[in-house]
Amino acid sequence: MEFILNWAGPIIYTSLAVAALYGVFCVVLLLRKIKEKRFAGDAAATEFLDQIREHLGNRDFDGAAALCDSPPYWSKAVSQLILVALTNRDRAQAKLRRMLAEKFERDVLADLEYRHSWIGTIVKSAPMLGLLGTVSGMILAFRKIALNQQTGTDPSALADNISLALFTTAMGLTVAIPLVLLGALVQVRIGKLQDSVQQHVGEFLDDLEVATTA
């Protein structure tokens, strides 16, 4: 048991370092993926929708589909959904809107939420790893006190164990707190992505309805 406790410190420090690195990796990956799915700004989205509207006005559905599949736009969530809508434009508007909402939820939001859940897992587990280090350090410290109760205990002999007990807790919080803030930032970006996609796809569907019934 003492052998395991003595090795607890290095194992916990390594685990916290890996958790911190993986948490940062998930944050960076999510931010990059969200940026890839969103337009650079409202001006870029408006420009794209105006071009789509022009094609729809001419009933040039193939031209609209080609625009969605062009390099500047093919990775955007809005253009991907518009491409699906153009392929299924013969469906009723209610069914088309429901199909696009389900596809966005399944293909985009589900993946983002899955990756975001790992950030939440690290936020919860990092303090627990720190607490494990605290418990391990205190057990070793009390064990030394118990073994040396007759001869007296040198306080310096307990320093390493107490340091482990306190430092791992601090490290766990140091990992968790920034990831809480970064996770909130990612969640806000996901919410903005969802709002913008709903707005822009809604505008397109209104234009598509006019074009297909004209």
CB 101 within 8 Å of CB 86: no
Amino acid 82 reads I
- What percentage of the chain exceeds 90 in pLDDT? 38
Q: What pLDDT was estimated at residue 107? A: 86
pLDDT band at 80; cut points 50, 70, 90: very high
Residue 112 has pLDDT above 80, yes or no: yes
Token reading at 134: 């605290």
Q: What pLDDT was estimated at residue 24? A: 93
Residue 100 has pLDDT above 80, yes or no: yes
C-alpha distances (whole Å) from 209 to each of 82, 85, 97, 98, 205 are 13, 11, 11, 15, 6
Regarding predicted confidence, which is higher, 46 or 214? 46
Q: What domain range includes position 103?
A: 2-213
- What percentage of the chain exceeds 70 in pLDDT? 85
Question: Considering its fold, how many domains does the chain have in total?
Answer: 1
